[in-house]
Amino acid sequence: MAEHNDLGKLAEDLAAEYLIKKGYKILTRNFRFQKAEIDILAEKDNLVIIIEVKARSTDAFILPQEAVNKRKIKLIVSAANHYLEEFNKNLEVRFDIISVLPDETGKLMIEHIQDAFEAFDAN
């Protein structure tokens, strides 16, 4: 497996652990619909939270959350709509991003950005 895939998997595992510690219930991970994938679907406070996990080995070029562009948002929203219909979830939805970057010592740091974007940002 490529090194960036290892980092991505590690970042998703760290994000899931972080969310569980914060009281989120993980519904599923790596939910796929057509060309889209949702990294983590969770539930908390009567919300379904769609979480995109972005990791980078450095922030020299672009912050991880800046990689979530309009095309990516459109795919995530499409997959989220499909999930909600398929599993009959009638809750409000929030879209979050969890950014994972190493600090100066190499320790991976998590930044949780709640309400990172809205479904209408896909238009």
Cα separations in angstroms, 1 against 9, 42, 87, 91 = 11, 27, 32, 37
Instruction: Kindly indicate the confidence band of residue 1, based on its pLDDT and cuts at 50, 70 and 90.
Output: very low
pLDDT in tens, 70-84: 899 999 999 999 999
Q: Answer with the residue of higher pLDDT: 119 or 5.
A: 119
* Mean pLDDT, residues 41-67: 83
Tracing tokens 């929030």 back to the chain, one arrives at 94
pLDDT of residue 102: 85
0.85 exceeded by the pTM? yes
The structural domains of the chain, ordered by start, are 3-122 (3.40.1350.10)
| Percent over 90 (pLDDT), the chain | 61
